[in-house]
């Protein structure tokens, strides 16, 4: 059984509307999601002793989400990740997007899907959010209708993304939750064991953009096919952290993507998806300046993201999986976050 409760989370300034919170609860999980950015604000998971802790970074109040912050828990789009120089050409026309990350466009631009109020609809086991992204929003062509559905099933949080376009446009949606399986507010994620089911990854240039190469992970720091303890692995390879796309099985069927285990609590997170890529990000740009829930501060490497998505800059890389959605087609992908204890 899943219960769904609906409350007011806060009011947007200047009469911008009411932000609501939806709490989904099963016997194993409790998750809070707000209608601002379809944002996961809390996710309580039990440890091996049966004690529940909140394992996602974020804020207790709406004000936290309205300040400049790194997409905590939000849905990002129209296109997750980076697009080179914020430009692409489609049917002979050049489109210019907002540039908001060095020379590139990141996560939909200056006012992406994370910074808008969505329309909610309560379901028996979750909540569905919808919105219409108008033609030309952040420079993207055509109108886009979008639906994001969160449902709970025991220890599994399922996120489904759907979209329909009035004109051909690139679309790649994801959720940007930051996890720490020791509990949010724990100082780092170095004691987490990580596995990612990927034989290849995308090397980056100095602006964090894929070079266009698809490189095998074999014999590199990016070989996470067997579990590695994160802190030890970063030290061993002298890495400042991960912020890379791992190339998954290119299949529209549900496939295993990643597993993270925290020995101290026994918590395990397994991720399954229908997407061809996952961005593994270790919170490299967190710097302790943001104050989160229960007064927690979030220093570098205090959370990790597993953003299931299309490959970054696919619109400018013809050999990457296709990212265009045309009228009459349906964009539809699902990601499963499965929690258990070991």
Residue ranges for the known binding site for beta-D-galactose are: 81-82, 176-178, 243
Catalytic pick from 20, 44, 193, 307?
307
> Which of 303, 262, 295, 278 is CA-nearest to residue 48?
262
**Sole residue written with tokens 């200056």:** 110
Say how far apart CA 272 and CA 334 lie, in whole Å: 8
Q: Give the DSSP H/E element, type plus range, for residue 66.
A: helix 62-66
What is the pairing mode between strands 126-133 and 119-123? antiparallel
DSSP-assigned letter for residue 97:
P
Hey, what are 341's tokens?
């204890």
What stretches of 93-198 show up as alpha helix (H) in DSSP?
none
Active site residue 176: yes
> Which one, of 36, 10, 8, 26, lies nearest residue 126 by Cα?
26
Closest CA to 78 of 331, 278, 327, 299: 331
Catalytic position from the list 176, 192, 262, 333: 176
Q: Are 171 and 214 in contact (CB under 8 A)?
A: no
Q: Are 82 and 29 in contact (CB under 8 A)?
A: no
Q: Which residues carry out catalysis?
A: 176, 307
């Amino acid at each position: 059984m899943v219960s769904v409760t609906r409350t007011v989370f806060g009011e947007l300034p200047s009469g911008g509307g009411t932000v609501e919170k939806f709490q989904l609860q099963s016997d194993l999980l409790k998750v809070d999601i707000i209608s601002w950015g379809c944002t996961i604000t809390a996710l309580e998971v039990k440890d091996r002793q049966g004690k529940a802790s909140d394992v996602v970074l974020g804020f207790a109040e709406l004000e936290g989400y309205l300040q400049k912050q790194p997409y905590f828990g939000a849905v990002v789009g129209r296109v997750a990740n980076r697009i080179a120089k914020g430009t692409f050409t489609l049917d002979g026309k050049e489109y210019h997007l907002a540039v908001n990350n060095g020379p590139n466009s990141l996560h939909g631009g200056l006012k992406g899907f994370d910074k808008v109020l969505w329309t909610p609809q309560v379901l028996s086991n979750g909540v569905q959010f919808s919105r219409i992204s108008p033609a030309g929003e952040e420079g993207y062509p055509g109108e886009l209708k979008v639906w994001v559905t969160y449902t709970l099933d025991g220890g599994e949080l399922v996120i489904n993304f759907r979209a329909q376009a009035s004109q051909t446009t690139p679309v790649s949606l994801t959720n940007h939750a930051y996890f720490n399986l020791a509990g949010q507010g724990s100082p780092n994620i170095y004691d987490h064991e990580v596995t990612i089911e990927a034989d290849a990854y995308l090397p980056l240039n100095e602006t964090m953009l894929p070079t266009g190469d698809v490189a095998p992970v074999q014999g590199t720091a990016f070989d996470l096919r067997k579990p590695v303890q994160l802190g030890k692995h970063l030290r061993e390879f002298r890495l400042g952290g991960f912020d890379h796309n791992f190339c998954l099985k290119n299949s529209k069927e549900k496939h295993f993507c990643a597993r993270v285990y925290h020995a101290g609590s026994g918590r395990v997170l397994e991720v399954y998806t229908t997407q061809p890529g996952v961005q593994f990000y270790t919170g490299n740009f967190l710097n302790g300046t943001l104050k989160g829930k229960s007064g927690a501060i979030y220093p570098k490497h205090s959370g990790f993201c597993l953003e299931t998505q299309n490959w970054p800059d696919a619109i400018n890389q013809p050999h990457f999986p296709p990212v265009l959605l045309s009228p009459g087609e349906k964009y539809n992908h699902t990601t499963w976050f499965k929690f258990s204890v070991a």
